[in-house]
Amino acid sequence: MTTSTEVPAMRERLLDIDGKKIFVAEAGEGAPVLLLHGGGPGASGVSNYSRNITELAMEFRVVVPDLPGYGRSGKGVDLADPFGALASGIRGVLDQLNLEKAHFVGNSYGGACALRLALDTPQRVDRMVLMGPGGIGTTRALPTPGLNSLLNYYTGDGPSRPKLEKFIRDYLVFNAARIPDSIIDARYQDSIAPEVVAAPPLRRPTSLRALWKMDFTRDKRLDRLAVPTLVLWGAEDKVNRPSGGRMLAGRMPDCDLYEVANTGHWVQWERAELFNRLCADFLAGRR
């Protein structure tokens, strides 16, 4: 385990998972923790958790993949069952790294991936932290304005920096003034890579069956999922409704809920110090 005075070095590799490439960065030693990023345009693992990796790597072996379709990973996601496809890819990461099980931390789209992986193969998940996860009650209400902004990014007149800036400043965070232009610039450039524009990884469900599969509150297995879970949800989340946290806490047998004041959809970035402390204590069993 790294000492508190060391800065853990980042290690990078490209894994082959059933013929598709998944990029993974790692730092630290100890119990393995996979950090799964959100699904916004231009997102990637290391950028999504830029304020968390170093702190968590002081105690854990932190594994940060780019989800299929994002960053340096291969493009293309099965639109008939996107959460299942993501979970399958990340389960392949566990296999490639010879990890029987691991902790999971998932933000938004990554939270949906972690939850689906836990429902399909609970024996592979030790503890789980979900931040404003996707797929909670999505068939029970119309999409939020923030989710519509996200899903419309590649439609209409196509991707643009103003569309991305509006999504990030108006919907992703509570305090838009804290977001530097450099974050928007970097994400915009990544979002317009030709292979991403040709196959956007996050799109509206292609059928009623797909829509139903993408709402975990319709999955009866949720009531039996005994994986210890901490749900963190920004009280001002404009992408995924904070009421989703109460849905999960009311259904899952071992689920703590922490609603974070004056915070939007990006808890791990907006409230990094709080997130790092809560996450480390929960994963280490100190709650």
CA angle 174, 287, 263 (to 5 degrees): 5
Distance CA 6, CA 2 (A): 6
Cβ contacts of residue 98 below 8 Å, gap of 6+? none
The secondary structure element, H or E, covering residue 25 is strand 20-27
Which pairing describes strands 11-17 and 20-27: parallel, antiparallel, or unpaired? antiparallel
Known catalytic residue at 265 = yes
CA angle 138, 146, 73 (to 5 degrees): 80
Q: How many helices and strands (H and E) does the chain possess?
A: 12, 8
Kindly list the distances between the CA atom of residue 256 and the CA atoms of 24, 79, 279, in Å, as whole numbers in the listed order: 29, 31, 12
Given the residues 75, 124, 265, 271, select the one marked as catalytic. Answer: 265
Distance CA 275, CA 48 (A): 13
Which pairing describes strands 32-36 and 102-107: parallel, antiparallel, or unpaired? parallel
How is residue 133 written in tokens?
């996860």
Q: Which positions are annotated as active-site residues?
A: 265
